[in-house]
Chains A and B, each alone.
Chain A
Amino acid sequence: MIANTRQSDLPDSMRVVITGIGLTAPIGNNLAELREGLLNGRSGVVPYEIRYFGKTLAGVCNFEVNRHQSRKDARRGTRAGSIGIYCANEAMQNSGIEWDQVDHSTVGVYVGVTEHGNVETENEVYQIKGYDYDTSFWSHHHNPRTVANNPAGEVALNMQITGPHYTIGAACAAGNAGMIQGMQMLQLGECDIAIAGGVSESIHTFGIFAGFASQGALASHADPAKASRPFDKGRNGIVVAEGGCLYILERLSDAKARNAKIYGEIVGHAINTDATDFVLPNPERQAQCMNKALGRAGLNAEQIDIVSTHATGTSNGDTLECVAVRAVFGKSERTFVNNAKSFIGHAMGAAGAIELAGNIASFEDRMIHPTINVDDLDPDCDIPGLVQNQPRETGQVDYILNNSFGMLGINSALIVKRFTD
């Protein structure tokens, strides 16, 4: 039985708030840079080349790896680990928590991933090819690099966190799933501080590009900045991106006790499953997922100011999500709909977490970032409130609903409220 208690009716010790944000995305390495890019139509998609597959496009991050990680550990670990370490340390600093004063056994690390291990396995196979596939040249670092908990474990090792750590494998719903896990672990008393969100190193595996290409779902365009174009008639697939976004989550009672800056409160969430197809989404289930999140938050659709869509730029995926969004929000006159993948591409396991961050800034600046590259709107995607190409000013933003969906029919929706006590 799923509890349906409104979050705001709960005592402060059961309410979970966001008190820190650390991120790297193809258009910025902190919230301010990401937000500036989203409000100014700046694309982070660039020409990219990867072994076997060749020339393509990708969203590439350019953060300072060694700001929080030694060169030795960066060499020994994974790109996902480095992204996680950067985001977690930035988030902790951003939160204002006096890290040296924290009992590190009370901290939990919950990192969403779409996949993990493909990059490292491909690298090893590639390099033993140079030794005629003699497996004695296979790295002893392979197993610690590819265990599924690697990105979360690297964060824990780097920050000397001795509470729980693990990854949440949830395809491209993983960013939301990581946050939901963190929230629930705080509510269960499993930790006092949760570092939660998602990371992705997927641009470093040729397999993901080749797989999407074989599926007819990899974007191409002469102008890289125009390649990721959800809702546009000319969309032709996904631009793969790397990135990460980890949040510091705390119980409201703890955040208040230290006078923390509160970015927002998680007031609704849902994860459900299509159970219909490996790849094709099911809009009926997506709508159920959004409605379940609304129900848990005790909200109706008209109260949501922003729906951050999952839309990846595939022909079917965008159309079907629009069916779901229209079913839930079609009659809401105040709800704006937007999309961040049009700027940065699809950051896979990090997507939901980054996209939420991009909208959380609306609570303060009261702007709605658009979805860009809509030159010729697909009539099937002409949903009410879609903010196209230019940002919109609004009076006040109180609620954001963040959609993130993934393969094998996993759907997630997270509702974050501008914090008011």
Chain B
Amino acid sequence: MAPEEIRQAIIEILGDIAPDEDLTELNDVQSFRDQMELDSMDFLDIVMELRKRYRVQVPEEDYPQLASMESTVNYLIPRMADAPA
């Protein structure tokens, strides 16, 4: 997957777990939690959906890497390189 496709995949996951949020104006460098109502259980949903949809395992020590869109995409680029778009 190319970085832009990974970003779109994350947007789709966020759209499913936070359907009341408007994601069109999401700032990629700002943390998700500063822009959206996301608690720890929602965050675990992101991890779970990555596992289910793309078979990406995010170990707990890497959770801080998923703080913002930019850091998430950077973290996932090598891990989703082979994922079909």
Q: Which residues of A contact B (CB under 8 A)?
A: 70-72, 75-76, 131, 136-137, 139-141, 144
Contacts and interface: CB of A to CB of B under 8 A. Distances in A.
Contacts of A71: 19-20
B21, B37, B45 — which one has the most chain A CB atoms within 10 A of its CB? B45
A196 to B, nearest CB: 29
16 contacts: A71-B20, A72-B18, A72-B20, A72-B21, A72-B42, A75-B16, A75-B17, A75-B19, A131-B52, A137-B48, A137-B51, A139-B48, A140-B41, A140-B45, A141-B41, A144-B41
B20 to A, nearest CB: 5
Contact of B48 (A70, A72, A140, A144): A140
Interface string B14-56: 0011111100000000000000010001101100100110000
A140 B44 CA distance: 7
Nearest to B41: A140
A76 B20 contact: no
Contacts of B41: 76, 140-141, 144
Nearest to A74: B19
A70 B19 CA distance: 9
Contacts of B42: 72
A137 B50 CA distance: 11
Contacts of A76: 41
SS class, residues of chain A in contact with chain B: helix
B8 to A, nearest CB: 21
Interface residues of B, number: 14
Interface of B: 16-21, 37, 41-42, 44-45, 48, 51-52
B38 to A, nearest CB: 10
A157 to B, nearest CB: 12
Contact of B17 (A70, A72, A137, A144): A72
A136 B47 CA distance: 11
Contacts of B45: 140
Given A70-B20, A75-B19, 20 more contacts: A71-B19, A71-B20, A72-B17, A72-B18, A72-B19, A72-B37, A72-B42, A75-B16, A76-B41, A131-B52, A136-B51, A137-B51, A137-B52, A139-B48, A140-B41, A140-B44, A140-B45, A140-B48, A141-B41, A144-B41
**Which 10 A-B residue pairs are closest in the complex by CB-CB distance?**
A71-B19, A140-B44, A70-B20, A72-B20, A71-B20, A72-B18, A72-B19, A137-B52, A140-B41, A137-B51
B66 to A, nearest CB: 15
Contacts of A136: 51
B14 to A, nearest CB: 11
A253 B19 CA distance: 44
A169 to B, nearest CB: 26
Contacts of B19: 71-72, 75
A85 to B, nearest CB: 15
A137, A139, A140 — which one has the most chain B CB atoms within 10 A of its CB? A140
B45 to A, nearest CB: 8
Contacts of A70: 20
Nearest to A75: B19
Contacts of B37: 72
A66 to B, nearest CB: 9
